[in-house]
Amino acid sequence: MSDKHINHHLINHSLKSATEGMEPFNEYKSPALAAILGLLFGAIGIGLYFGWKDGFRACIIWVFCLIVAVPTGGAGLVMGPMFSAAYGYRRAQSSNRQLGLA
């Protein structure tokens, strides 16, 4: 395998473990809508749907993706929206499961 291979299982596991310990929201959040907003609007979409704390967490990752974009020829710009979508989906799913709504 090449060094550029992305281990999707590792990323999925990392997102799941990162979101499982977070405090649930007060109401049901749609994982699909969270993923779409994350993909289309990135951290801003996550922040508008979930609130400023989750938007701030997503913004930190976006900054990292922008830093990665320079030496990788723009790969970070592609990873940012994909991460936001995955984070939004996992975060909503985790919250709903904790509330017994999933």
93 lies in some domain: yes
64 lies in some domain: yes
80 lies in some domain: yes
Between CA 3 and CA 94 the distance in angstroms is: 31
How many domains, in total, are found in the chain?
1
The amino acid present at 94, given as its one-letter code, is S
30 lies in some domain: no
> What's the domain range around 97?
52-102
Between CA 99 and CA 93 the distance in angstroms is: 10
How high is the pLDDT of residue 29?
95
DSSP, collapsed to helix, strand or coil, labels residue 9 as helix
Q: From first to last of its 102 residues, what are the pLDDT tens digits of the chain?
A: 444 555 566 666 666 666 777 888 899 999 999 999 999 988 888 888 988 777 777 777 777 777 877 888 877 777 788 888 988 999 999 999 999 987
In this prediction the pTM is 0.76
68 lies in some domain: yes
How high is the pLDDT of residue 2?
47
Q: Do the beta carbons of residue 94 and residue 22 sit within 8 Å? A: yes
19 lies in some domain: no
8 lies in some domain: no
* Residue matched to tokens 């979930």: 50
61 lies in some domain: yes
